[in-house]
Amino acid sequence: MFDGFALEMIELPNATLRVRHGGSGPPVLLLHGHPRTHATWHRVAPQLARAFTVVCPDLRGFGQSSKPADQPDHAGSSKRAKAQDCVDLMHRLGHERFAIVGHDRGSYTAFRAAMDHPEIITHLAVLDGVPILEALERCDARFASRWWHWFFFAQPEKPERAILADPDRWYGGSPGQMGAEAYADFRAAIHDPATVHGMLEDYRAGLGIDRRHDEADRVAGRRVRAPTLVLWSLHDDLEELYVDVLAVWRPWTTGLGGRGLPCGHHMAEEVPDELAAELARFLAR
């Protein structure tokens, strides 16, 4: 897994991240979603490393990266805090400007990095996500029935107890789908109470402080300046919920493109070759 990549624990001003990095060329940062670790990229990152320097961290609160202290407003798990980790990490590795790709929950951190650090982010790719504010403002009975976990995970204590009672049954996954090493890394994460709590804090921040950051950007008229690629899973529910996914993103961007991919939600595991090709074309622009 990740042949030729280095694996390090890198201490930053506000977090310590487990990081896999390799390749050469323009830098790109890949951010995983919930409940995965950086290992979800193991079929995509080596392909991108033929032309790019690829960096794959466990996000703060996830995997083996450090867990932020609990705060009443969940600021330590905010996408703004995690976006700053991304900037600090890449600067520590010698990259002043870089592209960023985020899947699922990682897409919110990638989006926040592009909004907060427009002088640093060269390209933004979002995989299976829309801005948190858009999702919450468009919430209806259909969204609540499909994405009920957003609201359950935001409750105190109960989701931790439910998940940790049987993490394998709750999250599923298999070595056949994910790869044996990636699956073992994933299982270690979902069986760790501190990591489960850290992952859920990401959702708690999403319903509060992250939404407020999006609202402030909208009021100020800020948009992503970097070219933006949005890819979504045709066998998941973004099109069912929003019909025109790009239309949801258009008010937040200045240069936008994208399409659906023939896969389920975990596209880096299901269609890695197609995903790597799409990202390589976009990042080469």
Is 104 an active-site residue? Answer: yes
DSSP calls for 235-253? TSSHHHHHS-HHHHHGGGB
Alpha carbons 121 and 206: distance in angstroms, whole number: 22
SS3 at position 139: coil
Q: Is 120 within 8 Å of 83 (Cβ atoms)?
A: no
Q: Which residues, at least 6 apart from 5, have a Cβ–Cβ distance to it below 8 Å?
A: 20, 21, 22, 23, 45, 46, 49, 54, 56
Alpha carbons 174 and 186: distance in angstroms, whole number: 10
Beta strand 16-23 pairing with 53-57: antiparallel
- Of 32, 34, 85, 104, the catalytic one is 104
Q: Where are the alpha helices (DSSP H) in the chain?
A: 45-48, 79-92, 105-116, 132-137, 141-146, 149-153, 158-165, 167-171, 175-178, 180-190, 193-206, 209-220, 238-242, 245-249, 267-270, 272-283
Q: Is 58 within 8 Å of 38 (Cβ atoms)?
A: yes
Is 166 an active-site residue? Answer: no
As annotated, the active-site residues are 104, 265
